[in-house]
Amino acid sequence: MPSTEEFAWVTLTTNDTYSLGALVLAHSLKRAGTAHQLAVLVTPTVSEAMRDRLKDVYNVVQEVNVLDSQDAANLALLARPELGVTFTKLHCWRLVQFEKCVFLDADTLVLKNCDELFEREELSAAPDVSWPDCFNSGVFVFKPSVETFNQITEFAVKNGSFDGGDQGLLNQFFADWATADIKKHLPFVYNVTAYASYCYLPAFKQFRDKIKILHFAGKLKPWLIQFNSETKTAATPHDYSHAKDLIQHWWTIFCDNVHHFLDDTMPIKPDNTDIASDNTDRSVQPEAGLAGALAQLRIGVERTPEQEQYENLMRRQCWESGQIDYSGADAFDNIWKKITQTLEAKPDKEAEAEADQTDNDNVNDNDNTIGYNKLLTKTASRLLQQTHNATPARPSSDRSPSPSPSPSSSSSLATNQGSSVAEAKASPAAATTNKLPTNAQKPVSSNTAVEQQPTTTTTTGKPQRVQPAAQATQPQHILQQSPAPTKPSRQKASRKFK
């Protein structure tokens, strides 16, 4: 039996937000008493401050370049345009300092010790809930090998991936998984999806206590769930109520093991700092630095302006990623009530004057609630103006809600807490699709499909040498590598697998 040094749990993060998941995951592994090493692959788009936090808990923090499928068409089938970067996972095969590894997505949570997984062979994984003849690639056992890495990347260039992400690719590559060897089928308890599909709930209830690894697969991630810092509770959306205690468990680990160590110098900016070239306030951009906002929270004490700021940031982020609590806080009635209250509280002229002023205001004011209300008032005024234009019969003083407001007006209103109706996005889904490109999704300047050079790996403790891999020569359009990060990185961070 190899020593524990030879086995590692491996995850991946390409930004500070997924890094929150990686931190909670690492602590969940430690709480479960694993005897094995922890390794995380990070891309240059993870901040220095966050890498330092990852180094506190991971034995190996390995920088890798982004690999992106750039396969918009297949990713559209998944409705997850951002998942092209999951090809970056493939770098896990290059961790050849380990004999065997288990890859875990950063959105997984280990509930019980699973060290027995290292007795399994490559490629062992659990069935995917959507197509059980495929395995889910959020949890899999593999054997690091530069040769395998080369084979998979070459295969990717030739064949692509049917879902545009690593799961389609790996299922095509390990194509006999469904039929060849039942020992490579992990029991479902090693990768239980938090989201409940048809027939799921009775089984979830029955086997709840046997779950070993929970996977927040899908758009709703635990860090995107509204969290009340005063009461330390997460507001679980209705369709996740079966997993309420498990979502709370994620947040409990976050509060107990992660939050104190977050650095409040972490930027409250988009994770990819080069994406916003306009002069908009980045603190309220989607995917803005959630880690930075959370770092500024004081947990377990009375709510502060920072808490309000965080909640506003979260609410917008949730809206724009399609996570809308239609029957809860985001219910149409609540939004409409807020608008009418705000309008009733102010004479029209004053409200409009204030609203105009918000063009120059920053919603990141100390009193963010005031900024938010101003924006809401402005948005409401403009919307009502539009409504009046469309229905001239209504007197201008009549600002009461229309008896049957159209869905599009509710969507526009609520998605635009920080911008005007004219900029309204048609729907949360459209907002997600229109997201600004990440570093990884930008065109590359070199023609290199996967650049691979021998380099020094920084581990916590001892530097290690990584084996060179052959240069891939395939065209760049299928498997692309991101350009160098725009931020100069301090050299003390991990060096790259390139």
Q: Which chain residues interact with ligand UDP by CB under 6 A?
A: 11-15, 18, 82-83, 85-86, 105-107, 138, 217-218
DSSP letter (8 states) at residue 146: H
Q: Nearest residue to ligand UDP, using CB? A: 105
Residue 139 C-beta: closest distance to ligand GLC, Å: 8
Q: How many CB atoms lie within 10 A of CB 410?
A: 17
Residue 77 C-beta: closest distance to ligand GLC, Å: 11
SS3 of 185, please?
strand
Give the Cα separation of 478 and 161 in Å (integer).
9
Residue 322 C-beta: closest distance to ligand UDP, Å: 13
- Say which amino acid occupies 286: P
String of DSSP letters for 50-70: HHHHHHHH-SEEEEE--EE--
Told to check if 68 binds ligand GLC by CB under 6 A, we report no
Stretch binding ligand GLC (CB under 6 A), from 161-169, 195-203, 300-308, 390-398: 161-169
What x/- string results for residues 207 through 246 when contact with ligand GLC is judged by CB under 6 A? ----------x-----------------------------
Among 13, 34, 62, 136, indicate the residue that binds ligand GLC (CB under 6 A): 136
- Say which amino acid occupies 1: M
Give the Cα separation of 440 and 70 in Å (integer).
9
Give the Cα separation of 346 and 343 in Å (integer).
6
Stretch binding Mn ion (CB under 5 A), from 74-82, 209-217, 386-394, 461-469: 209-217
Residue 217 C-beta: closest distance to ligand GLC, Å: 4
Total binding residues toward Mn ion, as defined by CB under 5 A:
4
Give the Cα separation of 129 and 150 in Å (integer).
29
Q: Is the peptide bond before 413 cis (omega within 30 degrees of 0)?
A: no
Residue 279 C-beta: closest distance to Mn ion, Å: 35
Q: How many residues does the chain have?
A: 498
Give the Cα separation of 136 and 140 in Å (integer).
8
Told to check if 217 binds Mn ion by CB under 5 A, we report yes
Please say which residue, 10 or 414, places its beta carbon nearer to Mn ion.
10
Stretch binding ligand GLC (CB under 6 A), from 41-49, 164-172, 404-412, 458-466: 164-172
Residue 11 C-beta: closest distance to Mn ion, Å: 10
Question: Which of 14, 140, 35, 7 lies closest to 83 in space, CA to CA?
Answer: 14
Among 105, 306, 330, 354, indicate the residue that binds Mn ion (CB under 5 A): 105
Q: Which residues pair with 125 in a beta bridge?
A: 140, 185
Diameter over CA atoms, the chain? 82
What x/- string results for residues 133 through 162 when contact with Mn ion is judged by CB under 5 A? -----x------------------------
Give the Cα separation of 180 and 327 in Å (integer).
46
Please say which residue, 271 or 306, places its beta carbon nearer to ligand UDP.
271
Binding residues (CB under 6 A) for ligand GLC: these are 83, 86, 105, 136-138, 163, 165-168, 217
Binding residues (CB under 5 A) for Mn ion: these are 105, 107, 138, 217
